[in-house]
Amino acid sequence: MSRPYVVVIASEKGGVGKTTLATNLAIYLKALHDDMPVTLCSFDNHLSVDRMFQIKKTVPQNDVGALFKGEPPEQLLQTGEFGVQYITSKIDLSELRQNVTTIKVLSRTLSRSDLGGILIIDTRPDLDIFTRNALFCADRVIVPVKDAPSLENCKHLYDFFDQNDLKRSALRILPCLIDSRIHYDGPFRNPYQLLRAYAINRGYRCMEGYIAKSPKVESLNTNPEGKIYPVLTHGRGTEVHSQLSSVARQVYLSCHETECRRLDHINTAIESETEERNRTFQDRLNSLHPNCLFCETTKLVSPSGIAPSGYFCESASGTIQAFIEETCFINLFFANFYDQDRSRPDNASLTDLFRESAQQSYFALKRAPHTRNFYQQQVALYRFDDEGLEVSHKIIDLKESDGALLNHHRSQLFRLMSTTLFDQKGMLNDDSLIIRKVSSDFPDEILYEENYRQFRNIANRIKKQFVEAS
């Protein structure tokens, strides 16, 4: 698989020539090596990329936002002018913001791609979640700066790299829109030398050369046709032409010399993470109690998988893990805490209501507060919402037998407590059982990394409330 070398053009300050650099760099790279795939996309809310590269007006089925939904970039490509591939821009990426919760979403999509060549990403003048996603998967970040304020803003990019253990060597400052007519007295003769000195003094690395301010180049973006023309075809007489050629050569050489690309590292990390997830998932499976924790007669866990069940149960201490048949839990719940037989016809609707509400609930069984005496064994059943906040609780006496004196059938609740929460002296300990409704058809989903982590977070939140109340 040939993963692309990712070049990100980033600056928190607008008006520094970022998009002009990104679009023209793609064209110069393609001219430098015609056989190398060059792909361009933009996270900014303008359509400059489309205006420059669109061959004919079409309505694409997807746009750059699909990258954050896991769509392979190969399926989003449009054939553009000058041999450059591009992905259609999206006017408003912000509508996807709530679904892009980490800086690794884009890298996971791109690490699975077979795009090859060089991918150039033009970003917004904002260190938002989309820009941060681009930076996280970049082999090279080119930061255009035109003055001291835009150079000061670079600090935020370097901070981002430091905070996420990324190598600063990927970042390069490139002075842009430099007015070569300005000259200074003293050691720094012009704005380029001054900006470069400021950057080096701050420990920043720079690209070789700069991009000059050029009225001719600026005019290429404004014309009656609404087209954007490249410097390569319409600005060869400017010094910007040779400067862009130099930048393109630097990027190409860097790409050629990079044996293991950033996306290769990311893919290796993802594979290791997947292996670790699979191992921990298997460990959880192996630690499960084989039978329904309530009735102890129904085998739910076997080498072939987990049989359909209704609830997952784990002690707050993590020492007990099991699945529970839905019928067992509902019967126990109704018999002990509603004082009713749920099989009665008039309770059918109540049972359905309970099933539905249980999907947004956590349950907990533990020793009732302030009952440590052997002769005062009481159990509390708590109900919590999805955030782990208590909704209600009920306390009942824990009796060993059900029914009359001569009926020595052991109480199902007593059997459950003795199996899980009794200490060696036959008394309820300080632990608790946390119970969560699961998918009847796919009960093992609760053991997947994200789902199990959420379960444990809520379990710890519940445990903390019990400790504070004791």
Q: For residue 206, count other CB atoms closer than 10 A to its CB.
A: 19
Q: What are phi and psi of 157, to 5 degrees?
A: -65, -45
| Mean pLDDT for the stretch of residues 40-57 | 88
Contacts of 41 (CB under 8 A, 6+ apart): 49, 64, 67, 73, 86, 87, 89, 119, 120, 121, 122
| Per-residue confidence (pLDDT) for residue 376, from 0 to 100 | 64
Q: Which helix (H) or strand (E) holds 378?
A: strand 378-384
Lowest mean pLDDT among 83-92, 186-195, 246-255: 186-195
The answer to whether the beta carbons of residues 164 and 155 sit under 8 Å apart is no
Residue 270 reports pLDDT greater than 70: yes
pLDDT digits (tens, 9 = 90+) for 7-16: 999 999 888 9
Of 215, 222, 143, 221, whose CA–CA distance to 179 is shortest? 215
Over 70: is that where the pLDDT of 435 sits? yes
**Residue 228 region by backbone torsions, left for phi larger than 0, else alpha for psi between -120 and 50, else beta:** beta
The answer to whether 324 and 294 have CB atoms below 8 angstroms apart is: yes
DSSP state, residue 93: G
Structure tokens of 164? 């996420």
CB 234 within 8 A of CB 27: no
- Burial of residue 353 (CB within 10 Å: 0-12, 13-18, 19+) is exposed
**Which pLDDT tens digit goes with each residue over 188-244?**
888 889 899 999 999 999 999 999 999 898 888 877 666 888 999 999 989 999 999
For range 342-347, the mean pLDDT: 54
Which whole number is the average pLDDT over 267-294?
92
The CA distance from 312 to 436, in Å, is 5
Q: pLDDT confidence of 347, banded at 50, 70, 90?
A: low
**Side-by-side strand order, sheet with 311-315:** 321-324, 311-315, 432-437, 362-367, 378-384, 390-397
Backbone angles phi, psi at 443, to 5 degrees: -65, -25
Q: Is the pLDDT of residue 344 over 70?
A: no
Nearest alpha-carbon partner for 10 in 163, 166, 170, 147: 170
**Helices and strands of the chain, counted as H and E runs:** 15, 15
Q: CA-CA distances (angstroms) from residue 418 to 251, 317, 424?
A: 69, 16, 10
| Spatial contact of 43 and 64, defined as CB atoms under 8 Å apart | yes
pLDDT of residue 405: 47
pLDDT band at 333 (very low <50, low <70, confident <90, very high): confident
- Indicate left, alpha or beta for 177 from its phi (over 0: left) and psi (-120 to 50: alpha): left
Q: Mean of the pLDDT values across residues 175-193? A: 86
What is the torsional sign of CA 201, 203, 209, 213?
negative
pLDDT computed for residue 62 by the predictor: 87
CA distance to 92, 239, 397, 403, 404, per residue, from 377 (Å):
61, 88, 6, 18, 19
DSSP tag of 90: -
CA distance 199 to 205: 7
Percent of the residues in the chain that have a pLDDT greater than 90, as a whole number: 58
Domains and CATH numbers, the chain: 5-270 (3.40.50.300), 287-469 (no CATH)
Average pLDDT of span 349-366: 87
Burial of 185 (0-12, 13-18, 19+ CB in 10 A): exposed
pTM: 0.78
- Mean pLDDT calculated for residue range 385-394: 92
pLDDT confidence of residue 406 = 47
Confidence class for position 1, pLDDT limits 50, 70, 90: low
Q: What would the pLDDT profile of 293-326 be if each residue is shown by its tens digit?
A: 888 888 888 888 888 888 999 999 889 999 999 8
pLDDT at 254 over 90: yes
What pLDDT, in 10s, does the model give residues 454-463?
A: 999 999 999 9
